[in-house]
Amino acid sequence: MWNIVCALALLGGAWAKEGQGGEAKGHVTVVVVGATGDLARKYLWQGFFQLYADQVGGGHSFSFYGGALSETDNGTPVLFEILKGLACPPGLTPERCALLRDQFLKLAQYRRLKTAEDYASLSAEVAKAVQQEGLTEAGRLFYLSVPAFAYAGVAENINGSCRPPSGAWLRVVLEKPFGHDLGSAQVLSAQLEKSLKEEEMYRIDHYLGKQVVSQILPFRKENRMSLEPIWNKHHIERIEIVLKETLDAKGRIQFYDQYGVIRDVLQNHLTEVMTLLTMEVPANLRNSQDVMRKKLEVFGALQQLVKSSAVVGQYQAYNAEVQEELNKTKEHVSITPTFAGVVVHLDNSQFDGVPIFLISGKMLDERVGYARVLFKNEVVCVQNPSSVHCKPRQIIFHFGHGDLHLPAVLVSKNLFKPATVEGWKEPEERKDLSLFGLALSDYHVQTPAEQKEAYGLLISQIFRGRRDNFVSAEVLLASWSFWTPLLYALAHEFPRPYPGGAANGNLLDLELHGREVAFLGDGGVVVIPQDGAGGSGGAASAGSFQVTQGKFRGADMVSAWAEELVYRLAADLQEAAEEAVREGGRFHLALSGGSSPLALFHRLALHHYAFPWRHTHVWMVDERCVPLSEPGSNFRALHDHLLHHVRLPYFNAHPMPVQLNQRLCVEEDGGPLAYERDIARQVNGSSFHFVLLGVGYDGHTASLFPGARPEVHGDRLVALTESPAKPHQRMSLTLAAINRARKVGVLVTGKGKHELITQLSRVKDDPQKWPITGVKPNGGKLVWYIDYEALLG
């Protein structure tokens, strides 16, 4: 059936030859569950082909099964299309590679793996074939390349229907994510424990298979005489662990929007690197229990993370990608971070006070990953500041990509000359390259003699039963226990927007304040360029924060880059609030829904500590006809992004009564009239001090949409309206209510609104076609707040 004996003879294998790791020889069955998915296509089958090529003649025979949910007729051609495209492993001649690939294809087949019966049928086929060939089963390796929610069911099927016979090993490989917080990780762990023993599970973090990452502990051990005196708080200034990506999240939005950068990268990849840098080096690096104990000691010493331990950002195009891939309306706002910088501290005698920065993000300036250990330098060079003694003293674990394009370990020559580890070499010197403030010639550099792909290395270790580069249940739960409080603290944090790539400039630079981290210059100081520094009329780049003032549709206009525009609007709001409180003791503010005001809410919550919230009443401009507790509610968004973070008295928040008598927005229930009476009772002359509006792409404002006749509302202040988008029913302030306000601000941001702004600059007043053109405060003031992207495109 598998042509096993024929294949071994053809390849000249010595059947009795002793293999690696002292494993008993015999037949190994490899089953990839999710065999035609993206991960399997890109990495897994290549890794198993590498394993087969390495093990030919080593005494084992193999069979390879690709399992998925599709029927055999549909799945088989897809699988073999993948297998026929496998690249030749390094070191093989084209003839040898062609021979091995042909044998690999003969040993592979597709199976539908959907039910317990499917797994039982597979097990019976394996047992029968092994018996017919006169072989003994060495073990079965299952690689689960499926969503985490399917793990428990697959594990149950393996345990109940597809375990190998007594004496053979079982190894089940699991891909991240292993939960999304501590609670879910505990549930998943408990589910898997019902079917699999801990020693049978290999939780894979492919970062641990990267050659430089797997070299950290051996490097530390091999150079312990040089490192031990300086690997501590007295000599280390800081540690940076960084993974930068240039790609966006397109194609992964369904996953990414639920997880974000901290769960996707920091909680696993970067945390593992941090433990390797800060743990005590075990005596036996291949003893997985020793490695695990040392890692757990690190987690036991970590100081708890709080909101001020982190900063988060989101590239500007992300929200539009979410709306497109998840089929959301343009009013939907995601606050999932695509960038995060976190500072971590250890509470132990070795590293106390040393900041450890974990940083990752998408749409950054380059693709690169590294860990940098920067040492203190007490030398003062009096006559030659460029002397080697005054240059940065540092060790770089360069994972790959970047300007270097290679995995490498670099030690600045003003530290020490490291020992060369077996399998590593010194590359040819490149005089044209500098890294982290030093020319490449100022480093001792070591790179792998042969570059290998991470999945191939880890698959080889799984085959040999090595567990030291895999994540144990205890380490996994310790990591989630460390990260979960921060994730909850940031759940409603609005991330800093950034344009992406080189245009980010210094927007994402961090600075340390004691044991807290903040974006550079996020303390409220704004730099206004002098004449000529930023061009005339408006700023020319995101690095310039000049504010311009002018006129738009006959009303005042303030324009700036988005961040400074929000800064200015927040300042204007506080000024209006303080003036109203001085005059009458209260400030009545009406806020609209949608995505436009979220950055403002973030600014008010974090930076305007003097805002008179105790004397402020917050009203709604409009509301969707959904329960106020649902995510689609404007009041729910207002609560989550602003009210939850400020000290507004409970009775000073005024949600619209969209749900009365257990019904939503029924005219007979009198919700609009009730809200109107509440306004008349508490707001002098029903005249709000400040109404903040946005503008939709179709020119609607509040929930007043094109096609509706404004005059039908007459003098009513609140009305039920119909939206063209779901949910269709809305409650809204009318133009009569809005135009009674002392001040109305209209906030418009984003390049997507440029066409709208162009049209509005040309059209005449027509509230039926363009509701926003009906906003004309009777005795008050209208101000447009338009960012440069919306204004200039």
Residues taking part in catalysis: 269
Helices 45-55, 454-464: inter-axial angle, 10-degree rounding? 50
Cα–Cα nearest to 732, from 790, 675, 684: 675
For tokens 């590498």, name the residue: 50
Separation of alpha carbons 290 and 282, rounded Å: 6
Token output for 689 = 């001090």
State how far the Cα of 327 lies from the Cα of 348, in Å rounded to an integer. Answer: 49
Alpha-helical segments (H) within 424-561: 454-464, 473-489
Question: Please, which residues bridge with residue 110 across strands?
Answer: 66
Rounded to a whole number of angstroms, the distance between the first and last alpha carbons of the chain is: 65
d(CA 25, CA 648): 71
Which residues fall within 8 angstroms of residue 304, CB to CB, at 6 or more apart?
482, 485
CB 261 within 8 A of CB 338: yes
Q: Is 76 within 8 Å of 484 (Cβ atoms)?
A: no
674 forms beta bridges with none
Q: What is the chain's alpha carbon radius of gyration, rounded to the nearest angstrom? A: 31
φ, ψ at 489 (rounded to 5°): -65, -30
The answer to whether 599 and 562 are in contact (CB under 8 A) is: yes
Structure tokens at 694: 């946005």
Question: Is 213 in contact with 292 (CB distance < 8 Å)?
Answer: no
86, 459, 581, 655, 677 from 617: Cα distances, Å: 66, 61, 11, 11, 15
> Which H or E run contains 109?
strand 108-112
Element (H, E) at 40: none
**Residues linked to residue 239 through DSSP beta bridges, in sequence order:** 356, 373
Strand, helix or coil at 274?
Answer: helix
Residue spans of alpha helices (H) in 585-714:
598-607, 634-641, 671-682
**Cα 178 to the center of its chain, rounded Å:** 15
703-712 in b/e burial notation, b at 16+ Cβ within 10 A? bbbbebeeee
Among residues 699, 681, 685, which one has the least CA distance to residue 758?
699
How far lies 107's CA from each of 60, 114, 144, 169, 364, in Å?
13, 22, 20, 20, 43
> What DSSP letter does each residue of 161-217 carry, written as one string?
H-PPPTTSEEEEEEESP--SSHHHHHHHHHHHHTT--GGGEEEE-GGGGSTTGGGHH
Phi-psi region at 167: left, alpha or beta (left = phi > 0; alpha = psi -120 to 50): left
Pairing of strands 729-733, 616-620: unpaired
Instruction: Write the DSSP symbol of residue 164.
Output: P
Residue among 638, 633, 571 nearest 598 (CA): 638
